[in-house]
Amino acid sequence: MIVFDLRCAPDGHVFEGWFGSTADYDDQSARGLVSCPMCGSGEVGKAPMAPRVGRKGNQLAVAPAAAPAEPSAEPSAAQVKAMLAELGRMQRRLLEKSDFVGDRFPDEARAIHLGEAEARAIHGRATLADAESLIDEGIMVAPLLFPVAEPGEEN
């Protein structure tokens, strides 16, 4: 499995894409199957490798609460909170355009990959083992930054 830092052209969102190999990435990219998980844009390219603040939004979320407030380049707790809130809003906006398929995610992702279902943005649940098989089959999987409530579970 290979992880690329990808970036969308319109807004410069940087995100991770997991692929089976570089060839899988090239193939899916050429077929327009790689899209930005934050804004849905299909104009996505590899981002130059850059030092990361944190690999995942959820890691950022746990760090600042206990960190002492000392002058440094680290973002303040308030800045991190604002950033996470913005990321949460972006994810919500994106998911409005995405079909929630719940536990059927692996099947649905395969059907779309094979052209048996309408190509569209979907999200749902997959175990790590499911995600790894999808990646082995050449299907891009991107982890969501935040847990998603099922439709109907939200208040």
Binding interface with Zn ion (CB under 5 A): 8, 11, 13, 36, 38-39, 41
123 contacts 105 by C-beta, under 8 angstroms: yes
Give me 56's structure tokens. Answer: 């995942």
Q: Write the burial class of residue 73 (CB in 10 Å: 0-12 exposed, 13-18 middle, 19+ buried).
A: exposed
Tell me whether residue 41 or residue 133 sits nearer to Zn ion (CB atom): 41
Closest separation in Å from C-beta 7 to Zn ion = 8
Question: Whole-number minimum distance, CB 33 to Zn ion, in Å?
Answer: 15
Q: Smallest gap, in angstroms, from Cβ of residue 109 to Zn ion?
A: 20
Query: What pairing do the DSSP bridges indicate for beta strands 99-102 and 44-46?
Result: unpaired
Q: Compare residues 90 and 117 and give the one whose CB is closer to Zn ion.
A: 90
The neighbouring-strand residues paired with 5 are 16
The smaller minimum CB distance to Zn ion, of residues 39 and 121, is found at: 39
